[in-house]
Structure formats: C-alpha cells, structure tokens
C-alpha cells in the first residue's frame, strides 16, 4: 500500500498521462530506498555503539544489528546492559545473551528484565547460578515471571531438593521454565512411581534427561505400554531406561526398527531378549544396526544368537572401535603373534587403554611397518588419553 499522500497524487496524474505504472514504480522505489537508508544508518549506529561504547566483539554487534531495529533510545539499551553488569553477569555472559537474544537490548528494564531476575534472587539463587542459567538460555527473559518462571522453579526445587541441582537442570534445558510442570513433570513422576521406579532413580533422570519429563502424561503412558509389551520386568533398574529410549522414537519408527531386526535374522524372542538386556541398543540408527550386524556376521563363530547375547556391541563406534580393532586383531593373527585365541567380546568391549596395553604395545616392534596398526595405535592412544 502507498502512503496516503501518494494515493492522492496518483489519480490526478492519471488524468494527464497514461504512464501510471512509471510513477507507481518511482514512488515504490523512493519509499523503499528511504526506509532502507534509515535502517542501514540505525544498524550502523547500533553496531558502533556496542563496539565502541560497550566493548562488544564485532560478531556480537553484527548479530544484534541484524534485527534491523532502530536504536532510537540508546539510554534504554545502556540501562539494560548496565543492569546486567551490576547484577553480576560477566562480560562474556552478557555478550552471549545479546548474541542469542538481541531483542534484550530493546527491552524495558522494569517490566521485562528486572522481574525475571528478581524471581531467581528471591528464591535464593546465587548470582553465579542464575547468570549461568540465563546466559545459557536468554529466552527466559521473554517469559512470564509470574506464570512461567516462578511456578516452574518452585516445582523443580521441590522435586530436586536443592538450588544447585535446579540450576544444573535448567541450564541444560531452559524449556523447563516454559512448560506448566504441574501438568507435565509432576504427573509423569507419579506415573513412574506407580510403575515401581524408585524416586531416587527418577530424580537422576530428571537431571540427565529433563526433556523426557516434558512429554504429556498421555504420551508417557503410551511409552510405558510399548515397553510392557516387550515383557519388561518393572522391578528392573533398566525399566526407566527402556521407557526413555522408547520416547526417542515414534510408534512408526519403533515398528520399522523391529522389522529391521527381523530382516537381519532376529526372532521375536531374540528382539525382546535384546531389548530387555540393553534397551539403549534400540536407540541406535537403522544404518548403524545394519552395518554392525553385517560386520559381525561376517566373522567366524558369530551368529545372531551371539549378537543377541552381546547386543551392547551395537553401541560402540564403527569407525573408531569396531573396524580398527578387528583389523588389528586380524593382522596379529595372520602374523601368529597371538599365543592363544582371544574372545571377540573381550577385544571389542575392552577400554582403549586396556586394548592398547594387551594387543598393540607388546607387538609394536613386529608391527612397526604395518600402517593400519600404526594408525589404529595413534587413534586409540588419542582416545585413551
């Protein structure tokens, strides 16, 4: 739409000339140029302000300027930055906040910034804790202090028992201060308790997998149902592990993964046994499951029952553990450097340090010219250190 003045002039022009589109184009270009020029000038001013007056890095200044918001009130921006500094945020933390949430520069300090920080202060969080939390997820400053931040922190403190633990989990998952935890976290904890999971174990999972507890209780019930269908023992400490693993994939994805195992030669009972033994192995991608299974089945004395029994072999890195170790072992055997036959499981599951000490270091002299062993030794030594 044209400004009112141009809408008034154009009809008059049409009475004198048929070149209407020419005038409209000129008007549009003029307006666009005028708007862009103002924006460009404002952005440069903001960038210069942040670099020259606040000592920000050019990268952070450019990111803030990319919003194309006019720095019409420098004193407002100055008061926000000064307040954060006076409250105890380090220069690095302030830059991190501005880089990830540049709109904070144009926030009203009294209605938008101070109330959020005040919630943390009144609950007893030390400055070092809430500064770390907010700089890790600056969008917290865009949330409601009364409807989101305070209720969520209150619930977390009750569940976890200490402010340091609350700081730890919120720093990991700032979305905890976005959801209504009375409708997600709290009922989900009760669901798991009713399944026989110890409260102490539940708390440990709140700390390590906080996003899991943001599912709706209906979804959690669905994950529990699928796990129960696999014949899982609810008294097992792996029960909650299985539920969390199940939550990492849709029902369709789960069905495709079961089909993959069947295509690779696993029976239904093999699949259930493997899942109950090591549910984490079912979180591995389809490509990796297929690749590891194909490699193992290509070895002597390895069949599907062996893989089922040692299903945790799916968890190791193919390029950094499985392939290099099998290559090292094959070369040692071809040179008759092994005094006795070694268990494949022992070779593949040993720590990097143990593998180096037992299979590589004693034979360095004999294998000095073998590129694969030297490369594997170098890579494994780096991982061991």
Domain annotation covers residue 271: no
HSE toward the beta carbon, residue 332, CA cutoff 13 A: 25
Domain annotation covers residue 282: no
Give residue-wise pLDDT tens across range 130-177. 999 999 999 999 999 999 999 999 999 999 999 999 999 999 999 999
Cα torsion at 141, 145, 149, 150 (round to 10°)? Answer: 150
On whether both 55 and 115 belong to a single domain, the answer is: no
Domain annotation covers residue 179: no
Give residue-wise pLDDT tens across range 258-285. 999 999 999 999 999 999 999 999 999 9
Domain annotation covers residue 108: yes
Tokens read off for 347: 């070779």
Residue 44 domain boundaries: 1-71
On whether both 78 and 165 belong to a single domain, the answer is: yes
pLDDT band (50, 70, 90) for residue 52: low
In terms of pLDDT, which residue wins out, 45 or 85?
85
Domain annotation covers residue 258: no
Total domains present in the chain: 3
On whether both 77 and 67 belong to a single domain, the answer is: no
Among 119, 140, 172, give the residue marking a domain's end.
Answer: 172
| CA 128/CA 87 separation, integer angstroms | 10
**For position 373, what pLDDT does the model report?**
59
**For position 377, what pLDDT does the model report?**
58
What are the C-alpha distances in Å from 348 to residues 149, 207, 357, 373? 47, 31, 14, 16
Among 71, 94, 116, give the residue marking a domain's end.
Answer: 71
Domain of 128, CATH number, reads 1.25.70.10
On whether both 89 and 50 belong to a single domain, the answer is: no
| CA 59/CA 70 separation, integer angstroms | 19
On whether both 88 and 163 belong to a single domain, the answer is: yes
On whether both 21 and 58 belong to a single domain, the answer is: yes
| CA 223/CA 98 separation, integer angstroms | 39
């Amino acid at each position: 739409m044209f400004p009112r003045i141009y809408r008034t002039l154009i009809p008059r022009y049409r009475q004198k000339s048929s070149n209407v589109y020419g005038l409209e184009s000129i008007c549009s270009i003029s307006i666009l140029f005028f708007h862009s020029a103002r924006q460009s000038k404002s952005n440069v001013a903001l960038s210069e302000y942040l670099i020259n007056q606040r000592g920000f890095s050019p990268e952070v200044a450019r990111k803030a300027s990319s919003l194309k918001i006019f720095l019409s009130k420098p004193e407002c921006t100055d008061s926000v930055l000064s307040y954060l500094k006076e409250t105890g945020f380090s220069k690095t933390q302030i830059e991190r906040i501005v880089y990830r949430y540049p709109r904070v520069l144009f926030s009203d300090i009294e209605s938008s910034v101070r109330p959020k920080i005040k919630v943390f202060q009144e609950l007893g969080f030390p400055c070092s804790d809430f500064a770390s939390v907010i700089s890790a997820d600056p969008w917290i400053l865009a949330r409601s202090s009364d409807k989101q931040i305070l209720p969520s922190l209150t619930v977390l403190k009750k569940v976890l028992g200490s402010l340091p633990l609350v700081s730890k989990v919120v720093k990991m998952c700032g979305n905890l201060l976005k959801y209504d935890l009375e409708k997600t976290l709290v009922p989900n904890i009760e669901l798991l308790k009713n399944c026989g999971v110890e409260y102490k174990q539940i708390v440990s999972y709140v700390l390590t997998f906080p996003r899991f507890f943001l599912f709706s209780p209906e979804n959690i019930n669905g994950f529990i149902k699928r796990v129960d269908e696999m014949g899982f023992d609810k008294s097992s400490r792996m029960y909650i592990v299985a539920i969390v693993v199940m939550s990492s994939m849709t029902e369709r994805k789960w069905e495709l993964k079961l089909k993959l195992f069947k295509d690779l030669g696993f029976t239904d009972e093999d699949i259930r046994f493997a899942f109950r033994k090591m549910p984490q192995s079912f979180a591995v991608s389809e490509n990796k499951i297929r690749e590891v299974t194909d490699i193992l089945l290509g070895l002597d004395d390895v069949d599907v029952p062996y893989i089922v029994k040692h299903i945790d072999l799916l968890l190791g890195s193919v390029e950094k553990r499985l392939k290099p170790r099998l290559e090292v072992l094959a070369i040692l055997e071809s040179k008759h450097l092994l005094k006795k036959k070694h268990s494949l499981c022992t070779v593949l599951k040993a720590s990097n340090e143990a593998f180096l000490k037992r299979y590589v270091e004693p034979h360095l002299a004999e294998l000095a010219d073998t590129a694969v062993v030297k490369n594997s030794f170098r890579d494994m030594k780096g991982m061991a250190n």
